[in-house]
């Protein structure tokens, strides 16, 4: 069986000198390394295990240990944790080809196996809001490949890499 690690969260913030509408995009730095699944051309795949209490979310790879895939992980902006200028905000998402934003029904996940995704925030509806200060929680939860698929006679270093890019809208 896969080994699911506990979820971890850290504080996440964006500070601007003047009110600005921004979005973030996540890109995996370890494409082709997600264990137990086939990644899409976007570098993500549907998780083979429950992460963040959900089974239908996207994961990316934890890198390689020699020729062995180490595992996978999901990254999210924790829904309900975000404030913009001290006002509660909702996660909004859209694919690169979409023209409008939608409420994020995927619990703030930064990856999707079906398209490249952008995330922004709004205080009501689906309209992104300009802000000077955003605060929230960035969450990560990982799973480790099945023991028979790894050389466990030596340490295995988790080597996932996600780059989060800030995009001005």
Asked if 57 contacts 143 with a C-beta cutoff of 8 angstroms, the reply is no
pLDDT band at residue 139 under the 50/70/90 scheme = very high
The per-residue pLDDT for 156 is 96
pLDDT of residue 169: 94
Reported as a pLDDT band with limits 50, 70 and 90, residue 79 is confident
Is the pLDDT assigned to residue 118 strictly greater than 90? yes
Confidence of residue 104 (pLDDT cuts 50, 70, 90): confident
Mean pLDDT of the chain: 95
Cβ(36)–Cβ(145) below 8 Å: yes
pLDDT value of position 99: 93
pLDDT beyond 80 at 106: no
For residue 105, pLDDT over 80 is answered with: no
Please say whether the beta carbons of 119 and 79 come within 8 A. no
Exposure string of 1-17, with b = 16+ CB inside 10 Å and e = fewer, is ebeeeebeeeebebeee
Hey, what domains does the chain have and what are their CATH numbers? Answer: 3-168 (2.60.40)
Is pTM, for the whole model, over 0.85?
A: yes
pLDDT tens across 20-66, in order?
999 999 999 999 999 999 999 999 999 999 999 998 899 999 999 99
For residue 12, pLDDT over 80 is answered with yes
Bridge partner residues of 82 (DSSP): none
């Amino acid at each position: 069986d896969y080994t699911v690690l506990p979820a971890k969260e850290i504080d996440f913030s964006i500070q601007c000198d003047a009110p600005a509408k921004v979005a973030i995009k996540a890109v995996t730095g370890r494409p082709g390394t997600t264990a137990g699944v086939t990644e899409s051309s976007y570098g993500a795949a549907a998780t083979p295990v429950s992460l963040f209490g959900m089974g239908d979310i996207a994961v990316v790879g934890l890198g390689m240990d020699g020729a062995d895939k180490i595992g996978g992980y999901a990254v999210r902006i924790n829904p309900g944790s975000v404030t913009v200028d001290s006002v509660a905000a909702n996660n909004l998402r859209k694919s690169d080809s979409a023209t409008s934003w939608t409420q994020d029904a995927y619990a703030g996940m930064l990856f999707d196996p079906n398209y490249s995704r952008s995330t922004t925030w709004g205080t009501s509806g689906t309209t992104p809001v300009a802000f000077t200060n955003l605060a929230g929680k960035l969450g990560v939860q990982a799973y480790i490949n099945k023991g028979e698929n790894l050389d466990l006679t030596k340490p295995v270093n988790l080597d996932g890499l996600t780059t989060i890019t800030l995009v001005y809208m």
